A and B are shown apart, each in its own frame.
Chain A
Amino acid sequence: MQDRPRADELAEAVREFIETEVLPTIDDPRLRFRALVAANGLGILEREIAVGAPLVRREVGALMRLLGSADSVPDDLDELRRRASDLNRELSRRIRAGDAPEGTLVHLLATVADKLRVASPRYLERYR
């Protein structure tokens, strides 16, 4: 067990440092842009730590329903990620073979929206 700050708290601390102490001192517009991107990357990390696990669990459940898989949903997070990757590979293969399951578009809209909840929540709001 690691001591505090937790991983999300550390990412937050570094992001706040970039935003409040580093960015105001940068004049070079290209460096400034990369510093903003770096802060954004830490924001993604914070959100993934907060909601990544439940989202990948939800994705695996949805993929199993879509593909008619009767396996059990694993508990372990690494195992879940592997399963999500395998099922996405299977879905990709079927789409390319012209054999997309009924409901694929609706499934993908929900799954990609979940990816954006971590990667770019403000982008998601632009579709409301």
Chain B
Amino acid sequence: MTRDRGQDVSVELRERLIPLFGGDIAIERLALLAGGASKEAWALDLRTPQGTRLLLVRRAGGGVIHQQTLSLEHECRLLEVAYAAGVRAPQPYGYLGEIVGRPAFVSERVSGETIGRRIAQRPELAGARAVLPAQMAEELAKIHAIPADRVPFLEAGGPHDVLTRLERELDSVEEPHPAIELGLAWAKSRAPDRGDVVVLHGDLRVGNLAVTEAGLGHVLDWEFAHLGDPTEDVAWPLVRAWRFGVDQMRLGGIGEVEPYLERYNALSGRHISLASLDYWEIVGNLKWAIGALTQARRHLSGQQRSVELAVIGRLAAEMEFELLHLLERAG
């Protein structure tokens, strides 16, 4: 980002913030935290008559937006609904329209550890790990209770639709992956009937939470939200890739599944079984294996050149290996 463009962003941003925070404001600091072709994140310190506010501006990047993710306007709207429902989401302040030609919204900037490996392994977060399983269950239960008609822009799908979409994404990779095919075939023959269809976060796991020594601070990264079977969300943090090296702790490298599931069932009134978690854990591994392959294609196609995206294409084999072991165990 050149100085000039940064200044343009700063000038337009201030104008758009006036309706939200009043005219007596000044930008004390504006720093690009994460670039990338799809979405940017800017740290913004805004001086207001009530004191300095620490804000986060999410803005579209210059490239093609990742398919199957919410637009920034919808992500902001969802955050508003979730925040009002008492979910520990960062407080959104409003959609800003286009800032120098790209849509953006502003929310509070929260603190806390977000790096999965540290949350799973750092000694000073041991106390947080003790309470996180129940707290994750509580947040999921609140999210799943959000009335779907408040977020009509979310796409809906039953268990079979999930598999159809994954198969289509795998085909778009144009590279044969028999291990993934075997997992898809297994899942198709055992997919549950369409039951409850609820608001899903879509990516709630260790690594997408802001965690303090007291436990879960905030639930982040809402762009994969959709409507679907609640078990899809409950099983997602079990996927081995999200255990960050602490493999024996099946829930995100931080805890056991049973108390988490018990808490979720008690709060939601549902009766999700360990067996249905097993099914959706396999689907989760399929999702992330195919996700890794499609991310590498973003690099290979030139949509977003990145060494990180390139290497992740090779790491899909990790998810394939886990998938095959889960299939072997499931029989």
Chain A interface residues toward B at CB < 8 A:
30, 33-34, 37-38, 40-41, 44, 85, 88-89, 91-92, 95-96, 98, 100, 104-105, 108-109, 111-113, 115-116, 118-120, 123-124, 126-127
Q: Which of B175, B182, B184, B317 has the most CB of A within 10 A?
A: B317
* Contact (Cβ within 8 A) B247 A119: no
Q: Mark B205-230, 1 if CB is under 8 A from A, else 0.
A: 00000000000000000000000000
Cα A23 to Cα B17 in complex, Å, equals 39
Partner-binding segment picked from B150-158, B259-267, B322-330: B322-330
Query: Which residues of chain B from 229 to 284 have any CB-CB distance to chain A below 8 Å in the complex?
Result: 247
Is B64 in contact with chain A by the CB < 8 A criterion?
Answer: no
Chain B interface, >50% SS class = helix
Pick the residue among B308, B318, B325 that contacts A120 (CB under 8 A).
B318
* Contact (Cβ within 8 A) B325 A104: no
Cα A41 to Cα B247 in complex, Å, equals 24
Min CB–CB distance A91 → chain B (angstroms)? 4
Given contacts A116-B318, A120-B318, A123-B318, contact A92 B178 (CB under 8 A): yes
Min CB–CB distance A67 → chain B (angstroms)? 11
Query: Which residues of chain B from 6 to 24 have any CB-CB distance to chain A below 8 Å in the complex?
Result: none
- Chain B residues with Cβ below 8 Å from A111 are 179
> Which residue on chain A has the smallest CB distance to residue B189?
A98
Q: Mark B168-190, 1 if CB is under 8 A from A, else 0.
A: 00000001111101101100000
> Which residue on chain B has the smallest CB distance to residue A43?
B311
| Total number of B residues with any Cβ neighbor in A under 8 Å | 26
10 contacts between A and B (CB under 8 A): A95-B181, A96-B185, A98-B185, A104-B182, A105-B328, A108-B320, A115-B320, A119-B317, A120-B317, A127-B321
- Chain A residues with Cβ below 8 Å from B310 are 41
Cα A8 to Cα B225 in complex, Å, equals 44
> Which residue on chain B has the smallest CB distance to residue A107?
B178
* Contact (Cβ within 8 A) B324 A96: no
Given contacts A116-B317, A120-B314, contact A88 B178 (CB under 8 A): yes
Given contacts A95-B185, A123-B318, contact A108 B178 (CB under 8 A): yes
- Chain A residues with Cβ below 8 Å from B1 are none
Given contacts A34-B308, A41-B307, A91-B176, contact A120 B181 (CB under 8 A): no
Cα A112 to Cα B317 in complex, Å, equals 6
Cα A124 to Cα B182 in complex, Å, equals 20
Cα A98 to Cα B184 in complex, Å, equals 11
> Which residue on chain A has the smallest CB distance to residue B307?
A38
> Which residue on chain B has the smallest CB distance to residue A119?
B314
Given contacts A98-B185, A105-B327, A105-B328, contact A119 B178 (CB under 8 A): no
Top 7 nearest A-B pairs by Cβ distance? A88-B176, A119-B314, A115-B317, A95-B181, A89-B176, A92-B176, A91-B178
Cα A119 to Cα B328 in complex, Å, equals 22
Q: A85-B175, A108-B179, A120-B315 are in contact. List 13 more A-B contacts (CB 8 A).
A: A34-B306, A37-B307, A37-B311, A38-B307, A88-B176, A88-B177, A92-B178, A104-B182, A112-B179, A115-B317, A119-B314, A124-B321, A127-B321
* Contact (Cβ within 8 A) A109 B328: yes
* Contact (Cβ within 8 A) A100 B328: no
Cα A108 to Cα B182 in complex, Å, equals 9
Min CB–CB distance B320 → chain A (angstroms)? 5
Cα A104 to Cα B175 in complex, Å, equals 18
* Contact (Cβ within 8 A) B324 A108: yes
* Contact (Cβ within 8 A) A44 B311: yes
- Chain B residues with Cβ below 8 Å from A119 are 314-315, 317-318
* Contact (Cβ within 8 A) A112 B176: no
* Contact (Cβ within 8 A) B308 A123: no
> Which residue on chain B has the smallest CB distance to residue A66?
B178
Cα A115 to Cα B260 in complex, Å, equals 35
Given contacts A96-B184, A105-B324, A127-B325, contact A34 B307 (CB under 8 A): yes
Min CB–CB distance B164 → chain A (angstroms)? 12
* Contact (Cβ within 8 A) A37 B308: yes
> Which residue on chain B has the smallest CB distance to residue A104?
B182
- Chain A residues with Cβ below 8 Å from B327 are 105
